[in-house]
Amino acid sequence: MGRAHSKSTQVQAMPRDRYNQKFTQIQALPRDCYKQKCLISSPCSSNTTITYVGDTKMYGKNEVQRNDECDRLHMVHFSMRDLWKTNFSSPIEDLLTNKRAKVLDVGCGGGTWILDTSLKYPKSEFFGIDILPLFPQCIKPSNVTFSQCNILKRLPYDDNVFDYIHMRFMGSSLTFSAWEFVIKELVRVLKSGGYIEICEVDHIWMNEGPRAGKLRAKVIRELIRRYNICIMASSLARRILRGNDQLTDFHQEKRMVPMGSWGGKLGEVFLENAKWGVKNLKNAVDSLGVGDVRYDAMVDSAINEIEFKKNVFDTVHRFWAKKIGK
């Protein structure tokens, strides 16, 4: 097992009232964890979303005001950079600066992480893959290649190609069994001595009120029931990385993120993104059976409750580990 030098770093102080927090527990895992389904929702025109469930493409109306997926992903990236002050936690600074390292970003979306990181490390080569062509097609740095690729299938790379693999916020896209499959594939294409890093959010809103708690629990339960997808993916990612017998030197780091404008621009962006995310899941959870108008009203009311509480946090994690053999 890859646990030789396990270390946990808690970087920011916990909020004072951490012990009053209310956690929503997932009571039990669904029996059938073996279906390879994937759920993504991305706007393909001004008011339409594409949702994938497995290989099935569904179209639905997106009534969210901020419906530009690339804009949203750019915004999320820069809020994360503001939070962490770096684009990665693995010890790869020297490698990226001085060697011709090969880097893979999985589920790269609009390519913001790659575009931002590749400019800082011009000697290294960056590859971004995503099932949707949200990334720039022509105008990009010369050390960047983007490809359209479904990570639920075997990756189009040989074994031991990449020095560093980065994957962020895939929690709403991978089923329980897909997580196992994807990590195995990533470890296959990672070089011995290379690092894999995963960044995920808890989606546990500490100090949330009754409206937010009820909505969050319902949406989470519905995604598990319908698709075998658990968006509270941080513990799953941690467990799968730690359980992979080709990985060692497991590390983790976490940051608390304020939700709401009391937390400055970061809190404002994070809450807006949470609202966008829950609204965009409307089709996937069939508006929880209450109809679109009522669903939207429930989301607005939960988001207002969070904003007014001025003490709600979520937690973002980075996990990283090294492939054995060097």
Q: What is the largest CA-CA distance in the chain?
A: 57
User: Any contact of residue 259 with ligand SAM (CB under 6 A)?
Assistant: no
Per-residue interface string for the shown chain with ligand SAM, residues 215-254, x marking contact by CB under 6 A: ----------------------------------------
User: Any contact of residue 168 with ligand SAM (CB under 6 A)?
Assistant: yes
CA distance 284 to 273: 17
In DSSP terms, 39 is beta-bridged to 53
CA distance 2 to 233: 20
Residue 27 Cβ vs ligand SAM, minimum distance, rounded to whole Å:
26
Q: Which of 75, 104, 130, 220 binds ligand SAM (CB under 6 A)?
A: 130
In the bound state with ligand SAM, the residue whose beta carbon lies nearer, of 33 and 132, is 132
In the bound state with ligand SAM, the residue whose beta carbon lies nearer, of 6 and 86, is 86
CA distance 84 to 87: 7
Residue 69 Cβ vs ligand SAM, minimum distance, rounded to whole Å:
7
Are residues 285 and 298 in contact, defined by beta-carbon separation less than 8 angstroms? no
Q: Which two tokens stand for residue 60?
A: 């639905």
Cβ-based neighbours of 107, under 8 Å, separated by 6 or more: 129, 130, 131, 151, 167, 168, 169, 170, 173
Residues 46-85 that bind ligand SAM (CB under 6 A): 73, 76-77
Angle between helices 292-309 and 264-280 (to 10 degrees): 160
Residue 94 Cβ vs ligand SAM, minimum distance, rounded to whole Å:
24
User: Any contact of residue 169 with ligand SAM (CB under 6 A)?
Assistant: yes
Q: Which of 38, 115, 183, 236 binds ligand SAM (CB under 6 A)?
A: 38
User: Any contact of residue 275 with ligand SAM (CB under 6 A)?
Assistant: no
Residues 80-119 that bind ligand SAM (CB under 6 A): 107-109, 113
Q: Which of 44, 70, 132, 217 binds ligand SAM (CB under 6 A)?
A: 132
> What are the strands, taking DSSP E only, across 202-273?
247-258
Which span (38-46, 155-163, 236-244, 293-301) binds ligand SAM, by CB under 6 A?
38-46
User: Any contact of residue 43 with ligand SAM (CB under 6 A)?
Assistant: no
Q: Which of 45, 98, 147, 150 binds ligand SAM (CB under 6 A)?
A: 150
What does the buried/exposed string (b/e) look like for 216-238 if buried means 16 or more CB atoms within 10 Å of the residue's CB?
Answer: bebbbbbbbeebbbbbbbbebbb
Alpha carbon separation from 192 to 90, 186, 198, 326 (Å, rounded): 15, 12, 18, 6
In the bound state with ligand SAM, the residue whose beta carbon lies nearer, of 227 and 311, is 227
Residue 130: helix, strand or coil by DSSP? strand
Residues lying near ligand SAM in the complex (CB under 6 A):
38, 40, 42, 73, 76-77, 107-109, 113, 130-132, 134, 150-152, 168-170, 173
